[in-house]
Structure 1
Amino acid sequence: MIRIVLADDQAVVRDGLSMLLGAADDLDVVATASDGSAAVDAVVRWTPDVALVDLRMPGLDGAQVTAEVGRQAPDVRVLILTTYADDDAVLPALRAGAAGYLTKDTTGEALCSAIRTVAAGGSVLDAAVQQRLVALVGPPVPAPEPDIPDGLTTREVDTLRLVAQGLSNQQVATRLVVSEATVKTHVNHLISKLAVDGRPALVAWAWRHGVVH
């Protein structure tokens, strides 16, 4: 059972999401919160698998909640929900350690799937959020060929391309016919070799440098 703390300042949204997630056999909302401080308190108290956090809340916003969760309950994975993908707090939330970022127009099925992915150690980025990240890091490098630095293996480049297209580690493993552990190793090597700050920044790097179009 995946245990969830749900934080949103709108009661109707909290109630709706609680009903939606509660209908899934493997998801359990153990606590809800209406502001950022209460969200952190609930996470520390209940130590859920996933904290589903609204980006804009009274007190602490989603990025600040993510940072506090990282300090006080580092094993809890944070999945951000927001109304607008172009919110200026997109990048701060991901830099703070959010494992995923979805807009509120996502489907219930996609939300449940995202929670399962994040709980399993994966990352989820809404397509609109990926586009926003690319915009934040700047325009693509104009080059006829991908701007790939020396030191990356062919397998690492293949992994980078698939990750940047939004595939999960499991999907990348299936595509490349390797184990999921091998994909995780490639991703960690890519983050280290490219000196980027986590998987979201890795995705942005790939788009900016023409690895994917």
Structure 2
Amino acid sequence: MDSDLDGSGTAGVRVVVVDDHPLFREGLRAALESTPDVRVVAEAETTAAALDAVAAQQPDVVVMDLSLPDVSGIEATKRLAQLHPGLPVLMLTTSDDDGSLLGALQAGARGYLVKGAGRDEVLHAVRTVAHGGAVFSGDVAARISALLTGGARRDAEQLFPELTAREVEVLDLVARGLDNRRIARDLFLAEKTVRNHISHIFDKLDVASRAEAAARARDAGLGEPSRPAGPTQ
């Protein structure tokens, strides 16, 4: 991948930073540009702005947050992969659950760091993914093979450890597009119970709508019509 030359004549890695928190972007820019071989060429706080920035700047690496105001960073990564095949995306996020990790990997992310990583770790990750490598922080690497073995559908504790097994069942059906009445019928629950489960899911996943919850679920591999539903009567 071609890179600009910095003032010292060495190859520089050109980075686009995508995060909706201005103070975090400012700090990350300062950390990245503390070394002469990395340069932040654009910042974006939404997926739409990120797509425009990448098209305009043609960076070597995109550093991507998971939670964005318009669509998730996972969806943004999918779109970048479609529009710019081979462009490395490094996820830098507060989300450390297996569902987010799996979704990022399936979207094509080249690396996954949790916010709080040190300056040197972030710089190493940016340089590594820019040159075709992959980087995963902490215990993430040890979890990857377990997540990818046996397909995308995982136990509740792996996909969304904050949800109960029943809540994952409900979320799976939400991702398949079923309404509360059908979910209640399939799981032999009262509609009020389903509504309560969905409310708890929204709170635990920090989402504001059914569509956002469904998107998170599909990112994690739920929503496939492989589980037999209950009798339709």
TM-score by length of 1: 0.61
Matched with 1:21 is 32
User: Could you list the runs of 4 or more consecutive aligned residues of structure 1 that deviate by over 4 angstroms after TM superposition?
Assistant: none
Contact 1:86/1:132 (<8 A) preserved: no
Listed as ranges, the matches of 1:34-183 within 5 Å are 34-86=45-97, 88-133=99-144, 136-137=147-148
Aligned mates of 2:64, 2:95 — CA distance in 1: 14
- Corresponding residue pairs, total: 139
Matched with 2:162 is none
Matched with 1:33 is 44
**Relative to structure 1, is the Cα distance of residues 138 and 122 closer, same or farther in structure 2, using a 3 angstrom cutoff?**
closer
Aligned mates of 1:2, 1:63 — CA distance in 2: 23
Contact 2:13/2:60 (<8 A) preserved: yes
Residue 58 (structure 1) shift: 1.1
**Relative to structure 1, is the Cα distance of residues 117 and 91 closer, same or farther in structure 2, using a 3 angstrom cutoff?**
same
Residue 65 (structure 1) shift: 1.1
**Relative to structure 1, is the Cα distance of residues 131 and 84 closer, same or farther in structure 2, using a 3 angstrom cutoff?**
farther
**Relative to structure 1, is the Cα distance of residues 49 and 79 closer, same or farther in structure 2, using a 3 angstrom cutoff?**
same
Instruction: Indicate the RMSD between aligned Cα atoms, in angstroms.
Output: 1.8
Matching residue's letter, 2:49: A
Contact 2:15/2:39 (<8 A) preserved: yes
| Mapped pair 1:5 → 2:16 | yes
Aligned mates of 1:68, 1:20 — CA distance in 2: 27
Contact 1:114/1:124 (<8 A) preserved: yes
Contact 1:85/1:132 (<8 A) preserved: no
Aligned mates of 1:60, 1:104 — CA distance in 2: 20
Aligned mates of 2:148, 2:129 — CA distance in 1: 24
The alignment-based identity, stated in percent, is 40
TM-score by length of 2: 0.56
State the structure with more CA Rg: 2
Contact 1:2/1:50 (<8 A) preserved: yes
Unaligned runs of 5+ in 1: 140-213
Contact 1:85/1:128 (<8 A) preserved: no
Aligned mates of 1:117, 1:83 — CA distance in 2: 21
**Relative to structure 1, is the Cα distance of residues 32 and 87 closer, same or farther in structure 2, using a 3 angstrom cutoff?**
farther
Between 2-11 and 87-96, the greater mean CA deviation after superposition: 87-96
Residue 126 (structure 1) shift: 1.2
